[in-house]
Amino acid sequence: MKNLAVLGAGMVGSAIAADLSEEYSVTAIDLDEKKLRQLKKIYKINTLVKDISRLKSLKKILKDFDLIISAVPGFMGFKTLKKIIESGKDVVDISFFEEDPFLLNSLARKNNVTAVIDCGVAPGLSNIILGMHNKTMSIESFECFVGGLPFSRTLPFQYKAPFSPIDVIEEYTRPARIIENGKLIIKSALSEPELLNVDPVGTLEAFNTDGLRTLLKTMKILNMKEKTLRYPGHIAKIQMLKDAGFFSDKEIEINEQKIKPIDFSSKILLPNWKLENNEPEFTAMIIKIKGKEEGKPVEYTYNLFDKYDEKKKISSMSRTTGYTCSSAARRILNKDYTKKGISAPENIGANDKCFIKILDDLKSRNIILKKIKK
């Protein structure tokens, strides 16, 4: 039986470990002993209490594993991925770090490593779908609208975070890179708001975020953008905090102590944004791909609406992100995908066998994509 390690036992990391434990020997590694204890109580999973940020000892920890899942926070992601690659281990990464992953391509190829990055729901599943269509049609535009929200709209933010608040704040502060008429354009996060009807929850608000990531390098498409979905009114409140400097990383001095406003804000927002135990929430995603197929104009729309799993007590964002990641891991372990170096999800989507199996994996877990062709 193959041995897998999952680095990080947060909401998504735990969902991945649980899913893969049905087929493989899985070890969840985290510093939080309580999280690991809860995970082991429910699933047949090995646990290891270790500080993953101590990179010097990571190679020794990983030596007996066949594949690694990196589900660490974004600020740890790049260095952790580099250490995994140096260890010679195949890896699927969902840390969504800020650095350019392709800087590690030569290292991964040198170490004979298959490294798939950004393999969540979006980026991730959205890229996989685009990768498949890019093989069969001439694409003129790609749009992705995605968000995870609680069903209960609690003021003032009408939002709960299924992952670390500091990573959510990153979405609101990092400039959004989009493609317009074949050119890279930088726009402010939260910019160009628009309203969309998302069945069955009604009207949601969409705004620019920096979600294209690898697509900026791997795809030659005239127009591409990614927008995040929230309940109407959320943008205005976040923009106010942003304008007032609450998300600044420049230190200020208070009572002779230096502090970064963003660190303070994330601590304040954590109790406001934390999902309650077993709180119902959903993930919504709309993908629009326009272009020509066999010389004729065509438009594909994919709709995803997934809800909290009441039986297994797993959040929708953990399901949609985690199960895409775990399916990609299966593709590597089963030798469906063997390319060495850094691979983006769209590379996997371009592999017909991988594309079909990933969608089948998701469907078997009741994550359903509805496709409309015009």
pLDDT higher than 70, residue 23: yes
Confidence at 163, pLDDT banded by 50, 70, 90: low
Helices (H), 111-156: 125-136
Domain total for the chain?
2
Taking the CA of residue 327 as centre, how many other CA atoms within 13 Å lie in the half-sphere pointing to its CB? Answer: 29
Q: Is residue 373 part of a domain?
A: no
State which of 256, 280, 307 marks the end of a domain. 307
State which of 280, 307, 334 marks the end of a domain. 307
Confidence at 251, pLDDT banded by 50, 70, 90: very high
Distance CA 104, CA 289 (A): 30
For 31, 120, 136, 238, 349, the CA distances from 346, given in Å and listed in that order, are 32, 12, 13, 32, 5
State which of 267, 286, 307 marks the end of a domain. 307
- Are the CB atoms for 173 and 244 separated by under 8 Å? no
Instruction: Note whether 22 and 111 are same-domain residues.
Output: yes
Q: What are phi and psi of 356, to 5 degrees?
A: -65, -45
Instruction: Note whether 115 and 129 are same-domain residues.
Output: no
Instruction: Note whether 296 and 327 are same-domain residues.
Output: no
pLDDT higher than 80, residue 164: no
- Are the CB atoms for 349 and 131 separated by under 8 Å? yes
What pLDDT, on the 0 to 100 scale, is given for residue 170? 85
pLDDT in tens, 165-211: 777 888 899 999 999 999 999 999 999 999 999 999 999 999 999 99
Tokens 């959320």 belong to: 234
Distance CA 253, CA 70 (A): 36
Helix (H) or strand (E) holding 77: helix 74-86
Confidence at 275, pLDDT banded by 50, 70, 90: confident
Q: Is residue 137 part of a domain?
A: yes
pLDDT higher than 90, residue 93: yes
Instruction: Note whether 333 and 228 are same-domain residues.
Output: no
Question: 136, 186, 170: which is closest to 291 by C-alpha?
Answer: 136
Distance CA 271, CA 266 (A): 9
Distance CA 234, CA 236 (A): 6
Q: What is the mean pLDDT of the chain?
A: 94
Distance CA 45, CA 29 (A): 10
Instruction: Note whether 112 and 30 are same-domain residues.
Output: yes
Q: Is residue 372 part of a domain?
A: no
Q: Is residue 215 part of a domain?
A: yes
Q: Is residue 352 part of a domain?
A: yes
Q: Which token pair is 340?
A: 């060495």
What pLDDT, on the 0 to 100 scale, is given for residue 56? 82
Instruction: Note whether 140 and 188 are same-domain residues.
Output: yes
Q: Which token pair is 175?
A: 């400039």
Q: Is residue 42 part of a domain?
A: yes
Instruction: Note whether 329 and 257 are same-domain residues.
Output: no
pLDDT higher than 80, residue 296: yes
Confidence at 278, pLDDT banded by 50, 70, 90: confident
Q: Is residue 146 part of a domain?
A: yes
Q: pTM to 2 decimals? A: 0.93
DSSP annotation string for 26-50: EEEEES-HHHHHHHHHHSS-EEEE-
Instruction: Note whether 326 and 293 are same-domain residues.
Output: no
Instruction: Note whether 279 and 334 are same-domain residues.
Output: no
Q: Is residue 312 part of a domain?
A: no
Instruction: Note whether 136 and 100 are same-domain residues.
Output: no
Distance CA 65, CA 100 (A): 26
According to DSSP, residue 298 is labeled: E
Distance CA 163, CA 150 (A): 13
- Are the CB atoms for 330 and 320 separated by under 8 Å? no
Range of the domain at 114: 3-120+317-367
Instruction: Note whether 148 and 100 are same-domain residues.
Output: no
Q: Which residues, 6 or more positions from 350, have their beta carbon under 8 angstroms from its beta carbon?
A: 131, 132, 134, 135
Distance CA 158, CA 150 (A): 8
Instruction: Note whether 71 and 133 are same-domain residues.
Output: no
pLDDT in tens, 31-56: 999 999 999 999 999 999 999 888 88
For the domain that residue 286 is a member of, what is the CATH number? 3.30.360.10
Distance CA 23, CA 176 (A): 39
Neighbours of 249 (CB within 10 A): 9
Q: Which residues, 6 or more positions from 296, have their beta carbon under 8 angstroms from its beta carbon?
A: none
